[in-house]
Amino acid sequence: MIDKSLIEDATAWRRHLHANPETAFEEKATSDFVAAKLAGFGIEVHRGLGDTGVVGTLKRGTSPAAVGLRADMDALFIHEENDVDYRSRVDGKMHACGHDGHTAMLLAAAGHLARKGEFDGTVRFIFQPAEETGDERCGGNAMVKEGLFDKFPVDAIFGLHNFPNIPAGQFLMRTGPMLASIDTFEFHILSRLSHPAAQYAVPDPLLTASRIVQDMHNFKARYLNPAEPVVLSITQFRSGDPSHRQGVHVTPDIAIVRGTLYTLNDAVRDAFATGLEKIVRHAAEAAGAGHKFQFERGYPVLRNTPEEMKLAAGVAQEIVGRPHVDAAMQPIMGAEDFAFMLGKVPGCYVFLSSGRPGEEAAPRPLHNPRYDFNDEIIPTGVRYWTTLAERYLKQAVARGR
Ligand SMILES: [Zn+2]
Ligand SMILES: [Zn+2]
């Protein structure tokens, strides 16, 4: 069992981290805090991977097997609207995704395993920066590229995220693709400023870009297998003089459009990367306008491996009971940079639900200024981590690893 005092400590750590949020690659005080706690438990600490990343290594016995448990530490650029005594002390920044809770739960698991863990092998506690960037410059990728798994090898890696959408105390996961890839794209349609009455003589970037936006949505509707889940969104469309000084009687010389793409299939990503470029090029050529197109790949599809998913589901069932574990959840079209780690080693990412009773009518979703990690799930999360690590290493020894 996990000591009650350790759970109380974890709750206090969570609130301390909540009050002191730090955003991508600036998690200096947070990583100091994490490193100090790990060292206090007698765990070997390595710092500096991905700038502010922290890796704790706990070895016991003689088995060469190693398992990695990962938490994320970064906050978001959101101004907190909660009125709690541990509310964010930093204007414009808050822990609105629960990474304060993820960090506190993994720290408590480290504390428990260091004091009372029954295992033969190595447990690595991986605290990563910058999960929220959405592009390849994220913390998970940074740690992997800087040699996380060469310097700290593991046979499998596991991740966990809180999930406030449904009442607390349930685990959700699946084998295979569970979360989407995220890519961003941007295109420019280039022309010259003109008089609206003489627009026929000059390509119209605004009209051309509008057509392209329609065609991009049509591409999804008519050129892809509809069984493939895809979310294409145009999120920015800028044209004309935003200062309004030019007034309404000047037609614009440029239209800039940006958007995002979420998919569960790499072939679909590739089809979009080439298809969208073609749509922009052809429409610009037809209009006689210039163009630029850029497709930037972000997080890959997050895929759980079958063996590790089975183990995670079994541990979850043991903790919350079989009816409270959905091991075949529908994939979610959001993205997670843990996918970079799962791209290198087998493993499993799970959701631990964290909704509060009575909030169904006015939910406080992730990335919301009124979101607050639900401390009630801390004991469940800590038990999941500690049981999972012990079980994984026990199975590895049984397999002769
Ligand atoms: Zn988030
Ligand atoms: Zn998150």
- Quick one: pLDDT at residue 56? 98
CATH T-level assignment (fold) for domain 181-297:
Alpha-Beta Plaits (3.30.70)
Q: Report the run of H or E that residue 392 belongs to, with start and end.
A: helix 378-398
Could you read off the pLDDT of 365-374 as tens digits, one per residue?
999 999 999 9
Which ligand neighbours the alpha carbon of 103 most closely?
A: 2
Q: What per-residue confidence (pLDDT) applies to 358?
A: 85
- Whole-number pLDDT of residue 80: 98
- Ligand 2 mean position, distance from CA 164 (Å): 11
Nearest-CA neighbor of 324 among 379, 363, 380, 364? Answer: 380
Does the pLDDT of residue 61 top 80, yes or no? Answer: yes
Q: List pLDDT tens digits, range 125-165.
A: 999 999 999 889 999 999 999 999 999 999 999 999 999 99
pLDDT 10s digits, 231-284 = 999 999 999 887 778 888 899 999 999 999 999 999 999 999 999 999 999 999
Q: Assess contact for 53 and 128: CB atoms under 8 A.
A: yes
Do 4-179+302-398 and 181-297 have matching folds? Answer: no
CA of 219 to the centre of ligand 2 (A): 31
| Distance from Cα 229 to the centre of ligand 2, integer Å | 22
**How high is the pLDDT of residue 146?**
98
CATH numeric code, 4-179+302-398: 3.40.630.10
State the ligand closest to the CA atom of 102.
2
Question: Rounded to an integer, what distance in angstroms lies between the CA atom of residue 72 and that of residue 234?
Answer: 29
Distance 95 CA to ligand 2 centre (A): 9
Residue 111 has a pLDDT of 98
Residue whose pair of structure tokens reads 């799930």 in the numeric block: 377
For residue 301, what is the DSSP state? P
CA of 282 to the centre of ligand 1 (A): 37
C-alpha span between 153 and 344 (Å, rounded): 11
Residue 162 C-alpha to ligand 2 middle, in angstroms?
A: 8
Domain positions in the chain are 4-179+302-398, 181-297
DSSP 69-116: EEEE---BS-------TT--SSTT-B--SSHHHHHHHHHHHHHHHHHH
Mean pLDDT calculated for residue range 101-125: 98
Q: Quick one: pLDDT band at residue 220, thresholds 50, 70, 90?
A: confident
Q: State the average pLDDT over residues 187-193.
A: 97
User: Which ligand minimizes its atom distance to the CA of 373?
Assistant: 2
| Total length of the chain | 401
Q: Which residues of 368-397 are buried (b: 16+ CB within 10 A; e: fewer)?
A: beebbbbbebbbbbbbbbbbbbbbbbbebb
The full DSSP string for 10-66 is HHHHHHHHHHS---TT--HHHHHHHHHHHHHTT-EEEE-TTTT-EEEEEEESS---E
| Nearest-10 crossing angle of helices 378-398, 99-116 | 50
Per-residue model confidence (pLDDT) at position 102: 98
- Which position has the higher pLDDT, 179 or 246? 179
> What is the whole-number distance in angstroms between the Cα of residue 135 and the centre of ligand 2?
14
What is the average pLDDT across 387-393? 98
- Distance from residue 390's CA to the centre of ligand 2 (Å): 25
C-alpha angle 310-316-319 in degrees, rounded to nearest 5: 145
